[in-house]
Amino acid sequence: MSKKKKLPTNYPILNKMFSVFVLDKKLTPLERLGNRLGYMGSAFIMMSPYLLPYDNIGAYTYLLGAVFSLPQVWIAKQWNLVMINLNLLLGYGLYIYNSIY
């Protein structure tokens, strides 16, 4: 494996100071999969409010978005977002259940 080449910058002192705060790490395959699922889940959640008037398709896309984005926030240990996704699953699950029965 070869080392990364450092690109010349206009602010070498600032770059040295800020490099202390950056961790250069490779993502594991599980983290990469979680990131991709998280992007897809976020896209579903973003388009869902616009789809709610059309036969409640938006409720189903809210559920898919919550399920797809859950692995990313679980792997990152962002427990506040895990709780928001679980709340989304429960709320729109009940919404669909009540609309069916």
Question: Looking at the domain assignment, is residue 23 inside a domain?
Answer: no
Question: Looking at the domain assignment, is residue 16 inside a domain?
Answer: no
Residue-averaged pLDDT of the chain: 88
Average pLDDT over residues 49-63: 92
Question: Looking at the domain assignment, is residue 8 inside a domain?
Answer: no
* 3 state DSSP class of 54: coil
Query: Distance of CA 42 to CAs 27, 30, 71, 85, Å?
Result: 20, 18, 12, 11
Question: Looking at the domain assignment, is residue 82 inside a domain?
Answer: yes
Domain range for 66: 29-100
- The count of structural domains within the chain is 1
Question: Looking at the domain assignment, is residue 24 inside a domain?
Answer: no
For the chain, what percent of residues have pLDDT higher than 90? 62
